[in-house]
Structure 1
């Protein structure tokens, strides 16, 4: 398992030919890597995603080796993959990836759901959703897919009512009933924890981010109900490499017993649920 480099936005935007594609091709041809080693570069962002990449790297079968390439925001990992600077990424759910493909004319594909983060709404003001006051301010993620996810949670719990046809593309414009006259504020996903610390009444968040202030899903006053794993975090690659031996080996490593055992540990802590099952 190799520990990778931290990519900057400038590096990704200005880089030329992709290093990711070369990492597998050159090693197969006896280039920069040893004859027997095929390095697969995987971009990721924050634990537990980066931890899972490392565990998969320890589990992968020879001649493959995984290099974790850590990025610092929610844009870099898709740009790196699209630009062939890495071979795969592990940091997003499929609806988020689909929006990226639409906006960037991308060819990214979701290969395998790995886990479903237990997301919800947190409040520094209210102990329960029943205490919610009229006119309260609600922080929603500013990206379209996570905005829809947050609104669907409010709809599931009867806080608002969404138009039936909205589904996974819901926005505040699709709210048909808002009995509490809630006010909605859109905030970048990485800044939602700060909104909570600033005292905003109701804040959507992921356990990955909210854990930075020692909160867990047990502290949420609303949690998502997602039996279909629509928003499960996925292993993602490019369309043209999805069936390659290297990417298939990577997929097997991500669904290994070692990864599954780690997911079960986190599941017991209430952070997530595995999105795949081990074969008997």
Structure 2
């Protein structure tokens, strides 16, 4: 019996020690020479590959992890599977922080991906008919962005002053009685045939062979406020290695790559 009690006590002490070790590790600075960076497939992945090339010259190794949906990239960062992520604009980050209670922070601007309206049926928004279905992302920030884009295009009018808080419930004028259908952002390009038109994020458009400057029938202006960011856990925001990553991303070499590769579909924001 004594041996059994001793074994239990040892097990409890070992578990406590492991728990203490986990807490201590949580506040450790990042590796000074290596970062694990999460991106979404498409342009963000392409750009980070170029950043990796530039960073290597400065002694920084970047391990790129590619994701196919938005929420998991922030969750993976918060849970420590990643050191940094690069895939989202700041309003989306702020909304996810609020919804999921994530302790993340933006540390630098990266690029802007102007959202566009696409269609396989029409060439001009003037060809839309009464009651047509148009698609938009179902997440709060990109959904709002699409609604503001529809308003810019003259399709709807939103409640005055609603800004980035807009939802479909804030539409006050819809002259064509358009049916707005909300879907997960990555699904919209795959289901474009089901809509008369749809708002698609640039990274998903490019992934499906759509070039915004060539295929969008209406697009955000290049000075759109929806700038993408690098995000980290708040505890790591001042780590020197993060500044090394920002230096590589904001290099002239990466800027030229973005401008030459994407021809205005992706815009450097530094």
Q: Does 1:257 align with 2:236?
A: no
Structure number with greater CO (CA < 8 Å, separation at least 6) is 2
Q: Which residue of 2 aligns with 1:248?
A: 243
Count of residues in correspondence between the two structures: 246
> Could you list the runs of 5+ residues in structure 2 that have no partner in the other structure?
1-21
Q: Does 1:271 align with 2:234?
A: no
Counterpart contact for 1:110–1:237, Cα < 8 Å? yes
Quote how far apart the aligned CAs of 1:212 are: 4.2
2:172 to 170, 173, 176: 176
The normalised TM-score by structure 1 is: 0.81
Quote how far apart the aligned CAs of 1:72 are: 2.9
Q: Does 1:223 align with 2:219?
A: yes
Counterpart contact for 1:23–1:40, Cα < 8 Å? no
> Could you list the runs of 5+ residues in structure 1 that have no partner in the other structure?
1-16, 29-37
Quote how far apart the aligned CAs of 1:40 are: 0.9
Q: Which residue of 2 aligns with 1:105?
A: 101
1:116 to 107, 112, 117: 112
Q: RMSD across aligned C-alpha pairs, in angstroms?
A: 2.2
Q: Does 1:39 align with 2:16?
A: no
What pairs up with 1:137-156 in 2 under 5 angstroms?
Answer: 137-156=133-152
Quote how far apart the aligned CAs of 1:21 are: 7.1
The normalised TM-score by structure 2 is: 0.84
Helix, strand or coil at the partner of 2:136: strand
Counterpart contact for 2:42–2:207, Cα < 8 Å? no
Quote how far apart the aligned CAs of 1:55 are: 1.4
Quote how far apart the aligned CAs of 1:24 are: 6.1
Mark the CA change 1:170 to 1:22 in structure 2 (over 3 Å): closer, same or farther: same
Q: Which of the two has greater helix per residue? A: 2
2:75 to 49, 72, 79: 79
Helix, strand or coil at the partner of 1:101: helix
Cα distance in structure 1, aligned partners of 2:153 and 2:67: 35
Quote how far apart the aligned CAs of 1:85 are: 1.7
Structure 1 residues 222-243: Cα deviation after superposition (integer angstroms, max 9, x where no partner) = 111362x421221111222111
Quote how far apart the aligned CAs of 1:112 are: 1.7
